[in-house]
Amino acid sequence: MSDNLASFPVAKPHRPGMSRAQKFLFFLTAWLICLMPFLFWWNTWFGRKLSDRQLTQYLHDTKKPRHIQQALVQVGERITHQDAGAKHWYPDLVRLSSDPVEEVRNTDAWVMGQDTSGAGFHEALLKMLADSSPMVRGNAALSLVRFGDVSGRPQILELLHSASISSPESGHIVDADRPATAIHQGGLIAKLQNGQGEIVEIRSPIPGRVRSVAGSGANLQAGAEVAVVDPATEQVWEALRALYLVGQPEDLDVVRRYERELPDIPNDVRQQAIETEQAIRRRTGG
């Protein structure tokens, strides 16, 4: 009897499969999960070519600054490809030089430097030398060099200096980045808790690398140094290229720092610093 029972097949429990509707919803959900990142990338990628109508719309899209930046980049590309139609948006470029968003002004300053014949560009760039942002001031100064205007030389030198970041109020550091960490413009470098228990975010005004930063638990008074950020390699290289053309003998001390004194400087930047010093000496007889 026991042998017969052992050989008797055991029925497996029935597991109902997914219905067509459930399968459809499953595949639709999976498809959307794949589609959403693509749509986000598509809507934020500056390389996606915009039509003339879209360019105009984006340049006036005050609710989405990245749209304005995307349009500015593409207007700049049209200028560099000598597309005469780009002049249609020149009044917008002048208007955007006073846009409230720093990133928009920064991109705009670069674009206006692509055409030295642009009506109103020179005057707009001169005004941008007094911008509240060091990056906007620097980009405006670099663009002015293309106009043969050396008015922005102090702002170009500023691009070669490290940024000292001060505490906006008294308190203690509750979190901070680490030295030698790369950081982008506007990147969070430390969090400070003030006397009211509020968290104040301290951000970098420039892209670059953290040289030093107050550690967690440090007590700071308002105005005390929180961090020092060395400028990004690309920023240094562009500034040295500009000084190759407009630098003066009194600028050589700053230039030489990038020839040998500062650590972690790429060889192409060191070479540019050497060539910049030589050009200044040839031009000024220094």
Q: CATH number for the domain including 75?
A: 1.25.10.10
pLDDT number for residue 41: 37
* Residues 204 and 163: beta-carbon distance below 8 Å: yes
* Cα separation, 199 vs 119, whole angstroms: 46
* Cα separation, 163 vs 183, whole angstroms: 12
CA angle 12, 13, 14 (to 5 degrees): 115
pLDDT number for residue 38: 38
Residue 129 shares a structural domain with residue 204: no
Residue 186 shares a structural domain with residue 152: no
For 182, the domain range is 163-231
pLDDT number for residue 8: 47
Q: Is residue 24 part of a domain?
A: no
* Residues 188 and 201: beta-carbon distance below 8 Å: yes
Residue 107 shares a structural domain with residue 84: yes
pLDDT number for residue 192: 95
pLDDT number for residue 16: 58
Q: Which CATH number characterizes residue 194's domain? A: 2.40.50.100
Q: Is residue 184 part of a domain?
A: yes
Residue 190 shares a structural domain with residue 108: no
The candidate with the shortest Cα–Cα distance to 115, out of 136, 138, 85, 95, is 85
Residue 262 shares a structural domain with residue 216: no
Q: Is residue 35 part of a domain?
A: no
Q: Is residue 260 part of a domain?
A: yes
Q: Is residue 25 part of a domain?
A: no
* Cα separation, 67 vs 217, whole angstroms: 40
pLDDT number for residue 18: 59
Burial of 23-50, coded b for 16+ CB within 10 Å and e otherwise, reads eeeeeeeeeeeeeeeeeeeeeeeeeeeb
| Phi, psi for 203 (deg, rounded to 5) | -120, 160
* Cα separation, 155 vs 158, whole angstroms: 5
Residue 219 shares a structural domain with residue 264: no
Residue 123 shares a structural domain with residue 151: yes
Residue 255 shares a structural domain with residue 220: no
Residue 225 shares a structural domain with residue 174: yes
pLDDT number for residue 31: 46
* Cα separation, 138 vs 220, whole angstroms: 30
Q: Is residue 38 part of a domain?
A: no
Residue 175 shares a structural domain with residue 113: no
Q: Split the chain (286 residues) into runs of 10 and give each run's mean pLDDT.
A: 48 57 56 46 56 94 93 94 94 97 96 96 98 96 96 97 95 93 93 93 94 93 95 95 96 93 82 96 86
Count of domains forming the chain: 3
pLDDT number for residue 43: 47
Reported residue count of the chain is: 286
Residue 200 shares a structural domain with residue 253: no
Residue 68 shares a structural domain with residue 154: yes
The candidate with the shortest Cα–Cα distance to 210, out of 186, 182, 234, is 182
Q: Is residue 45 part of a domain?
A: no
Q: Last residue of some domain: 106, 131, 158?
A: 158
The distance from CA 184 to its chain's CA centroid, rounded to whole angstroms, is 6
Q: Last residue of some domain: 128, 158, 188?
A: 158
